[in-house]
Structure 1
Amino acid sequence: MPFVMPLWACPEKMVIVLSPLNALEEDQAARFAKLGLRSVAVNGDTYNACIHNSLEKLRYNVIITSPEMCLEHADFRRLLNSTSFAKNILALVIDEAHCISQWGEKFRKTYSDLGTLRAFVPAKVPVLATSATLPPVVLSQVQKTLHMDSESTYCVNRGTDRPNITWFVRRMTAAKSDLESLSFLITFDEDGNIQPFRQTLIFFDDIKVSLQALTWLRERLPDSMHSQI
């Protein structure tokens, strides 16, 4: 919502949101459309002559796209760089801004070049960088990359505590490849019946191990519960 609130004051303008994933772009576009905004996800899968023509005619007031589209897609970059288009930009939003630090060096180097976008938009267009993962070192890098002057910008920290999320730390007694550490997820009632899973997120830093964990859990559950994992 904060991304697009200015559009209710200036509905003739547009907000450009940079998102790291196509799925997030499309989800945000759908959410903004439900608010009555003319939104579109612009990426390699959706970009075509029809979309380009609609963008050129300023038919959208929320454009959700990616760093690669802005910096590497010739037609879209040319559009952003045109005065007739750029003068209608109300704000530039970098969503999940921690990706500048986490991905910019090797994985997606366009994130480290996002500061060049400042040259595409009028000087007075505000840039908003948002994230739930901005420790001081990362915040400093984001500000530096986006050329955010500390004297003319400000930081709003709303915290990350959420009433529907509970942190739970469980000490592993073996190597991470020892999947017995996941046995606490399977609980039983007084009659020995397996209880339904509580909604849980398990993070792995290895795809192979995550698939092994999936198999390990399903082998210990009735078929009726396999779809819950």
Structure 2
Amino acid sequence: MFTWRLISMIVDEAHCLSHWGANFQKKYGTLGMVRNFLPGGTPVIALTATLTGRVRCDIQSKLQFPKFGSLFRNEGNDRPNVSIVVRACHNPLNSFTDLDFVIPNHIKNHQDIPKTWIYVDNINTGNEMINYLSGLLERQQQAQQDISSMLMD
């Protein structure tokens, strides 16, 4: 078996064990049974950014963490490089022009675009938004090339 080559078991978004394990995905809630097949002493790590006391106890139980000897670390959620911004839309929602701020006018290439998360209601809207922003980027880059060409002439 391949288990002798495992160095650890990592469960990301571990809060989903608690949230989904009861009703939505019952098998997901039994993920801790995998520990029975791991070599003794294999470290198990559970990661989550949303951990209440109740969910912590649930994860500890479902992943079969021992009551004593387990390390729980709270790194906090203060992220100076992350901010939540809510902006009012002034144009029709399907025009996406209210998202123009995402691609600043001064950028030279796509690496200059600040990382931004935008939440949408469905995949189709997300695809339409991506198409709009891609087109905006192309238009801005073309305009910058045109200006550079005019200045060189």
**Contact 2:91/2:97 (8 A) holds in 1:** no
Partner of 2:130: 214
Q: Give the Å deviation of 1:91.
A: 4.2
**Which segments of 5 or more consecutive residues in structure 1 lack a partner in the other structure?**
1-55, 57-78, 188-193
Q: Which has the larger radius of gyration?
A: 2
Q: Give the Å deviation of 1:143.
A: 1.8
Partner of 2:14: 97
The partner residue of 1:198 within 102, 114, 119 is 114
- The alignment status of 1:167 with 2:83, answered yes or no, reads yes
The answer to which structure has the higher strand fraction is 1
TM-score by length of 2: 0.61
Task: Evaluate the alpha carbon distance shift between residue 171 and residue 101 of structure 1 in structure 2; reply closer, same or farther with a 3 A threshold.
Answer: farther
More relative contact order, 1 or 2 (CA 8 Å, 6+ apart) = 2
How many pairs does the alignment contain? Answer: 134
Q: Give the Å deviation of 1:89.
A: 5.8
Q: Percent identity?
A: 28
Q: Give the Å deviation of 1:114.
A: 1.0
The answer to which structure has the higher helix fraction is 2
Cα RMSD after superposing both structures = 3.6
**Which segments of 5 or more consecutive residues in structure 2 lack a partner in the other structure?**
108-112, 143-153
Task: Evaluate the alpha carbon distance shift between residue 126 and residue 208 of structure 1 in structure 2; reply closer, same or farther with a 3 A threshold.
Answer: same
TM-score by length of 1: 0.44
- Aligned counterparts of 2:62 and 2:6: Cα–Cα separation in 1: 21
1:118-197 correspondence runs (5 A) = 118-121=35-38, 124-131=41-48, 133-136=49-52, 137-163=54-80, 165-173=81-89, 177-178=93-94, 179-187=96-104, 194-196=105-107, 197=113
Task: Evaluate the alpha carbon distance shift between residue 224 and residue 183 of structure 1 in structure 2; reply closer, same or farther with a 3 A threshold.
Answer: closer
